[in-house]
Amino acid sequence: MTLNQNLPVNIELEMEVLGSIMFTPSALNHIIDILDVDAFYVQSHRLIYKCCLALATDGKPTDIQSVTNWLSDHEWLENVGGKAAIARLAHYGLLAFNIKSYALELMNKYLSRQMISAGSKITQMGYDMTSDVEIRLDAAEQEIFSIRNKSSATKKDTIQSSADICVEIFQEVEHLSNTNEFISISTGFHDLDKLLGGGLYRGDLIILAGRPSMGKTIIGTNVAYNIASESGMPTLIFSLEMSAKQLNIRYLSGLSGIPVDRLRAGKLQPSEWEPFSLAVGVLSPLPILVDDSAEPTALQIRSKVRQTINKHGKLGLVVLDYLQLMVNTAESNVTLKLGEISRLLKLLARECDVPIVCLSQLSRSVEERNNKRPILSDIRQSGQIEENADVVLMVYRDEYYNSTTSDRNIAEIICTKNRNGATGTIKLLTDLTHSRFKNLAFES
């Protein structure tokens, strides 16, 4: 084999690791979850490592004789250089005292080679004008993220004992108790936080559903505002239904007390300029990020979330308004497509360690019932949406259907699914004129 001197490779280290496995068969137990077969640059070394893994899987030792016999039985012995090559490798085992650190070093070199290879692939993608650029960009990002995932896998064990987990939980609970920190992220709505066990949790997909005019967009964007203002964490809103300017006008309306329609028309009273200016001063420094691009694909959203994290750091929330606008509802297989998008959003929430609130329409079947409070099956083209969601919240305003209701200016938030907690209903005050919801117990 001709070795490219510029590549990050250590042939002797590969020999020391393999020699240690044959000299001390128990050594394999310390690296089997760390070291990939492909981390060996020399092909014969990859074959020998595969042999050792196969022997270990069958509960057999990985000593010199066992390795030699297995390779011979599978007609690989000559491919690795014969018995003499195996004997030379075993000799290197005497020199390896810390096989785990050696295995990590081999993985580091392997990942470095993977980066070089990815760079070459990405360059080729750049020249390939036969494919859509968005598909190529996502493929390029996947090349890098796959390497990062392999890197993460080398740093932690995927199987943990209950004893170790309990120690970690105890330390975490003790720390949170002593520091008054919260592992959840507050929505800014106290009763909703209580219902959800403290607020939103990282890695969760939250579906916020409602019929038109129920106020789901206001709630979703209000939560984004609350998180950005109270915690200082950046929040990212994908606004498919309205422009970024319209969204910010709603925020300014809530902060200034000036109705949305008057702000949009630019018809302010002389006395309103001061609260309007103060509202601009409050909103401007907040880390609320808005993407109002039309009809983004799931791939584009995934890419933009990653880019935002790279630029602004860990996000406090991602809001998508709303799910059904991501597909053409006139096409076939809409349910299947929406289910796939919701699955990708769930994976994105876990990958980027951020709660994702995805707004969704409810079907018209709600209107056909006497009791119009929504239920889980009312999610439009539900399919797998409800299955992929960790939490499903429904928005209902009785005054929309019943003009004589006693619950005027009240919205019910009905939690119909909570994978890790209770379900139930809480109420919020509505102020639709100024595009905001308020805590019922803290009316202002």
Residue positions annotated with a catalytic role = 241
The span from the CA of 224 to the CA of 234, in Å, is 9
The span from the CA of 40 to the CA of 31, in Å, is 13
Q: The tokens 């702000």 sit on which residue? A: 263
The span from the CA of 182 to the CA of 224, in Å, is 18
Pairing of the two strands 235-239 and 391-396? unpaired
Q: Is 288 helix (H, G, I), strand (E, B) or coil?
A: strand
The span from the CA of 337 to the CA of 332, in Å, is 9
The span from the CA of 164 to the CA of 169, in Å, is 9
Contact 107, 36 (CB under 8 A): yes
User: What letter represents residue 94's amino acid?
Assistant: L
- Residue 2, both tokens: 């001709």
State which H helix or E strand residue 171 sits in: helix 162-179
The span from the CA of 414 to the CA of 393, in Å, is 6
- Residue in 30, 13, 38, 19 with CA at minimum distance from that of residue 105: 13
Burial degree of 216 (CB within 10 A; 0-12, 13-18, 19+) = buried
Q: The tokens 């300029």 sit on which residue? A: 273
- Residue 439, both tokens: 């805590």
DSSP per-residue letters across 45-102: HHHHHHHHHHHHHTT---SHHHHHHHHHHTT-TGGGTHHHHHHHHHHHGGG-S-HHHH
The span from the CA of 153 to the CA of 169, in Å, is 21
User: What letter represents residue 375's amino acid?
Assistant: I
- Residue 275, both tokens: 């609260």
CB atoms inside a 10 Å sphere around CB 317: 27
